């Protein structure tokens, strides 16, 4: 499902967070929203989800307003916290999700989904009995209960160690390719964006306009620690865009105390 | 790990039992040896003999006050749930009425007991009313705190899933409120007994409060001590009942 944003502007508490933002993400893409803290990454994602009403402009998902996709399984959102139902086991969580979407669970789809995310043996676990990684896996399984057209992710793996994060990002991208959905996700990590995104929405720190960078011409990156030269050049370009005119501490002016 | 925990629990239990037995022993010796102590506090054995000799009346008083307290607690819970939901889901109503309710708490509820008995008469309704009045506020404040603690992300997720209001309440609000709600209930359980007993001080045909009140007038320390013990046991029983209910309904969070 294609994502179109036209002249989007958002003000929060009298402060302009996003201003005249227009961009388009093709169907089936994996678009990373990249930027420094406070630049409006989560605000943009929440506007795309229809959870935040913009001051001006329009967000269209496949030509429809975000709220029109609610409840049909067409949109899924992974929040920073897993937001699991604390009174339900992993199996019941997925069963309830199917029920909410009016889908049947007769064909063993719940067990298949649990196995798909590596929770096959943990179906009877409650959230309080799970590790942070297991909770994130269950949240992914819930998001993919009914193959969504759009998956929005607000740093859902930020609390995990780099290895687990890598593993879960791979899992999400594999499921994205299978479901053919468009993913839009927030990250601070340029290398993570280079590894898993087909497009990067670079939100600059200054007043410049956001830029959509197509990464599909880059070679596949399997090891984030050893980037090929093209990826290194792209990393520098993205860093330059998102940091913009932010003042950088001059080494000579740093006073060493103690 | 579990073995260590069980061992610690056993030590705590034995230590607690030993302290209680020591206090009872000292009380028995003093009550038996000194007339003044016997006149004011009686002694454990004399109190037990008194209860055995007047078992029917003691049991009736216990059951009567127990029933008033339990009904009072249930009424307080029902009103607190309804009012808590009203405060949160109709914020305008909440913002007007909640400060008034907080202000009303500066009136010591004990002072209202004579007026309540005047209005309701010496029957059980006045006792239930005061019991509910005393138990209501801790439950209400905890319910409101619980509803306000529900993460906005969880509610937004239910919105994206187009869950109905009832589904959102059942699967997000109630599970998040449960621990707050039961914390309020645990505070309110002994308070409901206090409310019923205070109301009985001001006029009752039967009850623990009536027994304690007349024991002071008649200088019957055995009746007074048996009344105090019955009140303590009743508070413990209702508190235990709340805890049992909490374990049964909220096992998914009890094990955290």
- For B159, the closest chain A residue by CA position comes to A70
- Compute the distance between CA of residue B130 and CA of residue B149 in angstroms, rounded to an integer: 30
Q: Is residue A98 part of a domain?
A: yes
Write the CA distances from A99 to A94, B53, B150, integer angstroms.
9, 62, 23
Which chain B residues are within 8 Å of A126, Cβ to Cβ?
A: 252, 255
Q: Which of A156, A173, A234, A225 is nearest to A202 (CA)?
A: A234
Q: Kindly determine whether residue A83 and residue B167, on different chains, have CB atoms separated by under 8 Å.
A: no
A109 to chain B, closest Cα gap in Å: 19
Q: What are the backbone angles phi and psi of residue A225, rounded to the nearest 5°? A: -85, -20
B159 to chain A, closest Cα gap in Å: 7
The first and second tokens of residue B150, run together, are 């529900």
Angle formed at CA A221 by CA A219 and CA A222, multiple of 5 degrees: 140
B180-212: per-residue pLDDT in tens?
999 999 999 999 999 999 999 988 889 999 999
Q: What are the backbone angles phi and psi of residue A64, rounded to the nearest 5°? A: -120, 155
Which is it for the CA torsion B11, B13, B15, B21, positive or negative? negative
Q: Kindly determine whether residue B154 and residue A128, on different chains, have CB atoms separated by under 8 Å.
A: no
Q: Is residue A64 part of a domain?
A: no
Radius of gyration of chain B (CA): 22
Q: Is residue A95 part of a domain?
A: yes
- A159 interfacial to chain B (CB closer than 8 Å): no
CATH fold group of domain B55-254: MetI-like fold (1.10.3720)
- For A125, the closest chain B residue by CA position comes to B252
Place of tokens 């199917």: A98
Element at A77 (helix H, strand E): strand A75-78
How many domains does chain A fold into? 1
- Segment B105-127 mean pLDDT: 88
Range 175-194 of B in CB contact (< 8 A) with A: 175-176, 178
> Is this complex scored with an ipTM above 0.90?
no
Question: pLDDT-based confidence at A248, cuts 50/70/90?
Answer: very low
A8-29: per-residue pLDDT in tens?
999 888 888 888 888 899 998 9
Place of tokens 């309704």: B125
Q: Is residue A207 part of a domain?
A: no
Kindly give, in sequence order, each residue whose CB lies less than 8 Å from that of residue A106, ignoring residues fewer than 6 positions away. Answer: none
Q: Kindly determine whether residue A80 and residue B153, on different chains, have CB atoms separated by under 8 Å.
A: yes
Q: Where are the domains of chain B?
A: 1-41, 55-254
Which chain A residues are within 8 Å of B253, Cβ to Cβ?
A: 86-87, 128
Place of tokens 């439950």: B139
Write the CA distances from B112 to A52, B115, B116, B126, integer angstroms.
50, 5, 6, 11
Is it the case that residue B77 has pLDDT exceeding 60?
A: yes
Q: Kindly determine whether residue B167 and residue A71, on different chains, have CB atoms separated by under 8 Å.
A: no
The first and second tokens of residue B22, run together, are 């020591």
> What residue spans of B170-220 are helical by DSSP H?
174-201, 208-218
Q: Is residue A168 part of a domain?
A: no
Q: Is residue A244 part of a domain?
A: no
Q: Is residue A136 part of a domain?
A: yes
> What residue spans of A78-129 are helical by DSSP H?
90-100, 109-116
Is it the case that residue B61 has pLDDT exceeding 90?
A: yes
Q: Is residue A131 part of a domain?
A: yes
Q: Kindly determine whether residue A77 and residue B253, on different chains, have CB atoms separated by under 8 Å.
A: no
Which chain B residues are within 8 Å of A129, Cβ to Cβ?
A: 255
- For B249, the closest chain A residue by CA position comes to A87
Residue with more model confidence, B255 or B222: B222
- Segment B158-173 mean pLDDT: 88
Is it the case that residue B27 has pLDDT exceeding 50?
A: yes
- A70 → closest Cβ in B162, B176, B178: B162
Task: Give the pTM.
Answer: 0.77
Residue range of the domain that includes A112: 84-146
- For B161, the closest chain A residue by CA position comes to A71
- Compute the distance between CA of residue A49 and CA of residue A153 in angstroms, rounded to an integer: 10
Place of tokens 């420094």: A36
């Amino acid at each position: 499902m294609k994502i179109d944003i036209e002249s989007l502007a958002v003000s929060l508490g009298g402060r302009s967070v996003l201003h005249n933002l227009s961009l388009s993400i093709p169907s089936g893409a994996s678009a990373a929203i990249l930027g420094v803290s406070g630049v409006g990454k989560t605000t943009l994602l929440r506007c795309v989800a229809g959870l935040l009403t913009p001051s001006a402009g329009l967000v269209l998902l496949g030509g429809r307003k975000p709220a029109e996709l609610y409840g049909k399984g067409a949109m899924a959102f992974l929040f920073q916290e897993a937001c699991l139902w604390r009174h339900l086991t992993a199996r019941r969580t997925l069963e309830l999700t199917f029920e909410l979407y009016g889908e049947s669970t007769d064909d063993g789809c719940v067990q298949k989904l649990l196995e798909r995310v590596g929770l096959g043996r943990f179906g009877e676990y409650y959230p309080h009995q799970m590790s942070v990684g297991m909770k994130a896996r269950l949240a992914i399984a819930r998001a993919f209960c009914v193959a969504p057209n759009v998956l929005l992710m607000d740093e859902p793996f930020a609390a995990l160690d780099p290895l687990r994060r890598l593993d879960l990002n791979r899992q999400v991208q594999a499921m994205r390719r299978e479901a053919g959905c468009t993913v839009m996700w927030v990250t601070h990590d340029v290398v993570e964006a280079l590894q898993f995104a087909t497009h990067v929405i670079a939100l600059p720190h200054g007043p410049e306009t956001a830029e959509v960078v197509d990464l599909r011409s880059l070679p596949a990156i399997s090891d984030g620690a050893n980037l090929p030269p093209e990826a290194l050049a792209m990393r520098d370009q993205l860093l330059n865009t998102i940091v913009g005119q932010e003042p950088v501490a001059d080494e000579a002016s740093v006073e060493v105390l103690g | 790990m579990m073995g260590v925990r069980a061992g610690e629990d056993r030590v705590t239990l034995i230590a607690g039992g030993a302290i209680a037995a020591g206090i009872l022993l000292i009380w028995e010796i003093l009550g038996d040896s000194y007339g003044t102590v016997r006149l004011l506090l009686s002694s454990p054995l004399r109190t037990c003999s008194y209860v055995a000799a007047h078992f029917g009346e003691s049991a009736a008083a216990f059951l009567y006050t127990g029933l008033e307290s339990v009904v009072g607690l249930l009424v307080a819970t029902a009103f607190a749930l309804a009012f808590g939901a009203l405060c949160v889901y109709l914020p305008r109503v909440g913002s007007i009425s909640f400060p008034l309710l907080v202000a009303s708490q500066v009136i010591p509820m004990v002072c209202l007991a004579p007026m309540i008995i005047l209005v309701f008469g010496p029957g059980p309704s006045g006792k239930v009313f005061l019991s509910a009045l005393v138990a209501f506020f801790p439950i209400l404040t905890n319910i409101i705190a619980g509803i306000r603690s529900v993460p906005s992300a969880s509610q937004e997720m239910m919105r994206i899933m187009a869950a109905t209001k009832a589904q959102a309440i059942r699967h997000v609000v109630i599970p998040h409120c449960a621990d707050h709600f039961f914390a309020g209930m645990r505070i309110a359980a002994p308070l409901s007994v206090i409310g019923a007993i205070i109301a009985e001080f001001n006029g009752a045909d039967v009850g623990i409060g009536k027994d304690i009140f007349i024991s002071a007038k008649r200088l019957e320390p055995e009746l007074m001590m048996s009344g105090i013990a019955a009140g303590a046991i009743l508070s413990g029983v209702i508190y235990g009942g709340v805890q049992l209910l909490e374990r049964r309904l909220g096992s998914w969070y009890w094990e955290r």
